[in-house]
Every structure is written in structure tokens, then in C-alpha cells.
Amino acid sequence: MNPLPKLAACGVALSILLAAPALAALKPGDKAPTFTAPAYLAGNPFTYDLATALESGPVVLYFFPAAHTPGCNLEAHLFSEAVDEFASHGASVIGITAGNTDELAEFSAETEHCGGKFPVAADQGAKIAAQYDAVLEQKPEWSSRTSYVITTDGRIAAVHSEMNPNQHVRAMLDAVAALGERSAQSP
């Protein structure tokens, strides 16, 4: 009896388990933790303050594992392409990571990534990610790929958590559009 097929199947199952993010514990309706963090926009440093950003409209907060990694590069590019559509719904976008934070100035400015269209913030030690239940299980010093829509009253409106970067922008755009539809229907 050859044990290799069983070992291979166990290896595949383990790799799938490790690749899966933890389910986000923050749910719609929960209060979003406020934070300030060192950030960059088009390579320029500043301090990002969530409470101040919420004064201007809803915020799409997306956590990503690390700058200059394939999935994160793609996700940043997709968010940069959609930033005007988010703005048309009154929402702003902020990316935040605990991985490769020393590369964020470049990452924020590079046209193939953020293109200077939205800020990215550094989360040293994944402290903010921990508050948002967005820590990568297999690498706890990094953020998972988890996105939130936060309303102007500081509440979570939507959560999307999966490692595939292709789905986050669409899920967040749909959630932001739904916020506008609910506002339009309110008396």
C-alpha cells in the first residue's frame, strides 16, 4: 500500500486550510475601531485618521498582507482603477498592511499599484488588523485580505474576507452603492 497519495491529499488539505483567512469577527452593525496610522499618498507621508476621514463620507478600509506581492499588487491596482467610482458614491478608500511597511511610500506612488489615487497605511505589528480581526493566521505579523465598508457613524456596513484579491473591489462597490440606495429610500 503506497502512503504517498494519502500524504499528498493531506498536504493539499493543509495548504488550503492555511491559505484560508480567518472569518472576520466584526459584523455589519458593529462599531468600527478608530485608529491613526502612518500613511502615504502618492509617496508623500502623512498620518491617516479614520475618524477624520469618516467626516467626509463612508470609508472602504481594506487590509492586505504585504506591499509588492502578487495578489496585493493586483488588489491595489483594482482599487486604484475603481477609486473614482467609490468617490461617486461619496466613499474614500484606504489600504492598510502590516507587511513590507518599509515599501509603502513607493507602493503608494507606483502607477501599476496604487497610482497615487488612495492612501496606504502601515500597521506595525498588525495591531490595527487585530482590532479588525484581520490578521493572517499563518503569518500573524501580517494582515489578512479583509475589506470593510464603514459608515459615517462609525459602524461596519459590510465585510468581505477571502484571499482572492479579485472579489474585494466588486464586493465593496456593491456595499457602498447599497448605502446610497438605503439613504435615498430613507424619508
In a domain, residue 2? The reply is: no
Segment-wise mean pLDDT, segments of 10 residues, the chain, 187 residues: 42 34 73 97 97 97 93 92 96 95 94 92 95 90 92 96 86 92 55
In a domain, residue 69? The reply is: yes
What pLDDT score does 15 carry?
33
Tell me the three cell numbers of residue 92.
474614500
In a domain, residue 170? The reply is: yes
- The CATH number of whichever domain residue 134 belongs to comes to 3.40.30.10
What pLDDT score does 118 carry?
96
In a domain, residue 123? The reply is: yes
What pLDDT score does 10 carry?
37
In a domain, residue 76? The reply is: yes
What pLDDT score does 178 carry?
93
**Judging by beta carbons within 10 Å of its beta carbon (0-12, 13-18, 19+), is residue 50 exposed, middle or buried?**
buried
In a domain, residue 13? The reply is: no
In a domain, residue 17? The reply is: no
What pLDDT score does 180 carry?
76
In a domain, residue 97? The reply is: yes
Domain count, the chain: 1
CA dist 14 → 17, 29, 126, 147 (Å): 5, 33, 24, 25
Q: Which domain holds residue 82?
A: 31-182
Query: Among all chains, which residue has been given the C-alpha cell 502601515?
Result: 122
